[in-house]
Amino acid sequence: MQKEKEMKQVPEPTIKRLPVYLHYLIKAREEGAMNISAPAIAKELNLDPTQVVKDLAYTGIKGRPKIGYNIYELIHFVEEYLGFNKVNKAFLVGAGNLGSALMAYQAGQTLGLKILAAFDISESKIGTKTGQVNVLHMKNFSEMVKRLDVTIGILTTPGDVAQKVADEMISAGIKAIWNLTPAYLKLPENVVVQNTSMYSNVAVLLKRLEHSEKII
Amino acid sequence: MQKEKEMKQVPEPTIKRLPVYLHYLIKAREEGAMNISAPAIAKELNLDPTQVVKDLAYTGIKGRPKIGYNIYELIHFVEEYLGFNKVNKAFLVGAGNLGSALMAYQAGQTLGLKILAAFDISESKIGTKTGQVNVLHMKNFSEMVKRLDVTIGILTTPGDVAQKVADEMISAGIKAIWNLTPAYLKLPENVVVQNTSMYSNVAVLLKRLEHSEKII
DNA sequence: TAGATTGTTAATCGATTAACAATC
DNA sequence: TAGATTGTTAATCGATTAACAATC
């Protein structure tokens, strides 16, 4: 349990691991498991058991020594903690391939985000639909943000217009931007920006491959 | 410069930041800059100047006090260091929206990877082409890996077949897998797996948004 | 009861940040 | 020369891992 005042900041690595646990827990639940222990999760996901215990404790779940956690309860706590069971309304801008991928993604499994609409300026895309998400003209963005009270923007435009579109998002009232372009965004301090750079991931992959080849 | 024997391992955060620098440097070069200093990069990308100096030093670049780094040389060193100027041959499996997004991605800007072909089992996708990448039947995967000497596999299938496809990749001779599915892959120790979880990014975004709302 | 696991506190490890000398 | 910046070494900070007590 955490202190009431000055709630200790949860480590970002923990927040990134929780969805990984969640995916595994849902799979384990489907296979009929009733209880699950931290060491069991750790072994499955190749992590340190103590780390799993600590991570799960952040969600507020209470386990029982020797038995572990009730899997239904644990899934509920993790989803609650991450906010994945809430409706997190989002608008997507840039209905290209990556944008369409995210629209389709949420059709099946919930991504934690509810993409209410997508926006673009290309006439060929406007009026189309991917995974139940309609593509609208960008000129309607600002009005729609206010009307539907949307706080999250997903940025999947080409990199060279990313800053311009991000500025538009903010002036329309968006509070958090998930930036999937390679561009670095300069935005006011109070805006939350989450960068997901494909390049960074490729870079890590290549370095690790290089390293593993050196060993052999 | 680094020691010859027992080369110090480069921190992963550094490897992730280098492509961000690179993107900015290329933009700055287009705008006609000849030299650039670490504090200038740091200011632009909202980072610590010392950290930028250290990160760049890993690439082997030599700067000049007061002047900074020659931008052409610096770009060359970063690309060389990351392996982005090499041809890193990759096969993609799962030609859905996300897969198509990656195929299209590299058409314009180079992703550091050269996707030679995509594979799927859906008849409707086989024979199609996205961003100059042809979609072939998965039954040809193994043979093609050997023929073209491909070492990198990009996994963009649905999560429930990810493990099975990953196993196929490895037995065909793939050495590194970029896993863009939410599944955790159980693979031999010597295989490099780079996980890029959309869920983890959403989780961080939501937590940070929640946190920023609490402050106001 | 014995032993595995939770939950917490302490030690370690690694990355970031600060300090400072070298240099152009 | 003076001062900004590189490059390196030291201090700090935060996350991981280890140790251990509590407990079912």
Domains with residue ranges and CATH for chain B: 12-82 (1.10.10.10), 89-200 (3.40.50.720)
Contact yes or no for A79/B79 (Cβ under 8 A): no
Over residues B166-203, the pLDDT tens digits come to 999 999 999 999 999 999 999 999 999 999 999 999 99
H or E element at residue A134: strand A133-137
Q: How confident is the model at residue A109 (pLDDT cuts 50, 70, 90)?
A: low
The whole-number Å distance from A214's CA to D7's C1' is 28
Which positions ≥6 away from B147 have C-beta within 8 Å?
A: none
Tokens encoding B109: 């800007």
Residues with CB under 7 A from strand D: A 9, 11-14, 47-48, 50-51, 54, 64-67; B 1, 37-40, 49-50, 53-54, 56-57, 61-69
Q: Which residues pair with A90 in a beta bridge?
A: A115, A152
Nearest to B27 by CA among B14, B43, B13, B44: B44
| CA atoms of A190 and B182, how far apart (whole Å) | 30
Q: What is the reported pLDDT for A208?
A: 95
Q: What is the reported pLDDT for A111?
A: 75
Average confidence (pLDDT) over B97-118: 85
Q: Between A16, A204, A210, which is nearest B12 by CB?
A: A204
Nearest to B135 by CA among B116, B154, B109: B116
More confidently predicted of A106 and A186: A186
Contact yes or no for A169/B191 (Cβ under 8 A): no
Residues 131-150 of B with CB under 8 A from A: none
The whole-number Å distance from A51's CA to C1's C1' is 30
Which positions ≥6 away from B17 have C-beta within 8 Å?
A: A200, B47, B51, B55
The whole-number Å distance from A58's CA to C11's C1' is 22
Backbone angles phi, psi at A75, to 5 degrees: -60, -45
Over residues B14-70, the pLDDT tens digits come to 999 999 999 999 999 999 999 999 999 999 999 999 999 999 999 999 999 999 999
Residue B165 has pLDDT above 50, yes or no: yes
In 10 A of CB A188, how many CB atoms?
A: 6
Which positions ≥6 away from A13 have C-beta within 8 Å?
A: none
Helices (H), chain B: 12-30, 38-45, 49-58, 71-82, 97-108, 141-148, 162-172, 198-215
Contact yes or no for B103/B130 (Cβ under 8 A): yes
Residues of chain A found within 8 Å of residue B202, distances taken between Cβ atoms: 19, 111-113, 178
Backbone angles phi, psi at B168, to 5 degrees: -60, -40
Q: Which residue is nearest to nucleotide C3 (CA to C1')?
A: A66
Say how many Å lie between the first and final Cα of chain B, rounded. Answer: 47
Over residues B73-89, the pLDDT tens digits come to 999 999 999 999 999 99
CA-based nearest residue in chain B for residue A198: B111
Residue B6 has pLDDT above 50, yes or no: no
Cα dist from A36 to A29, A32, B203, whole Å = 9, 11, 23
Q: What is the reported pLDDT for A100?
A: 93
The pairing of strands A35-36 and A69-70 is: antiparallel
Over residues A31-57, the pLDDT tens digits come to 999 999 999 999 999 999 999 999 999
Q: What is the reported pLDDT for B215?
A: 67
Q: Does A194 touch chain B (CB under 8 A)?
A: yes
Backbone angles phi, psi at B176, to 5 degrees: -140, 135
Q: Which residues pair with A130 in a beta bridge?
A: A133
Q: Is the CB of B64 under 7 A from strand C?
A: yes
Say how many Å lie between the first and final Cα of chain A, rounded. Answer: 46
Nearest to A39 by CA among A67, A11, A80, A19: A67
Residue A165 has pLDDT above 50, yes or no: yes
Largest CA distance in chain A: 61
Q: What is the reported pLDDT for A30?
A: 95
Over residues A168-214, the pLDDT tens digits come to 999 999 999 999 999 999 999 999 999 999 999 999 999 999 998 87
Q: Is the CB of A119 under 7 A from strand C?
A: no
The whole-number Å distance from B65's CA to D2's C1' is 14
- Residue A134's Cβ-count burial label (10 Å; 0-12, 13-18, 19+) is middle
Q: Which of B81, B151, B198 to mutate to test the interface with A (most CBs of A within 10 A)?
A: B198
| CA atoms of B82 and B76, how far apart (whole Å) | 10
Nearest to A159 by CA among B73, B82, B76, B20: B20
Which positions ≥6 away from B161 have C-beta within 8 Å?
A: none
Of A4-8, A23-27, A123-127, B24-28, the one with minimum mean pLDDT is A4-8
In 10 A of CB A209, how many CB atoms?
A: 19
